Amino acid sequence: MLTLVRQLVELEKRRRDYCSDPREPADRCDRCGAQAYLRVVLMSGGELLFCAHHGRKFEPELKKIAAEIQDETERLTAVPASASDEDR
């Protein structure tokens, strides 16, 4: 039981670290190399990065093994704050 508690504490620490770490343009999909918009934190430890396409494609399987899925695909359609009114 103590081991399980330690694992949960460690997972929570990693989750907080990952949540405060947004995707960077240099983060690449583990499947195809495109820009990553999803981070899958695995229950077994570690992470996987996916583009929006592969994130959707593998979503059912990923949900089975993920402790958390961080989805930032909304950034694909977001209008930058610096955009002019006519660009919006």
Confidence of residue 2 (pLDDT cuts 50, 70, 90): low
Higher per-residue confidence, 80 vs 45 = 45
Q: In this predicted structure, what is the pLDDT of residue 33? A: 93
DSSP 10-69: HHHHHHHHHHTS---TT-B-TTT-SBP-EEEEETTS-EEEE-HHHHHHHHHHHHHHEEEE
pLDDT one-digit tens code per residue, 6-55 = 666 576 666 556 555 556 778 999 999 999 999 999 998 889 999 999 99
Q: In this predicted structure, what is the pLDDT of residue 25? A: 73
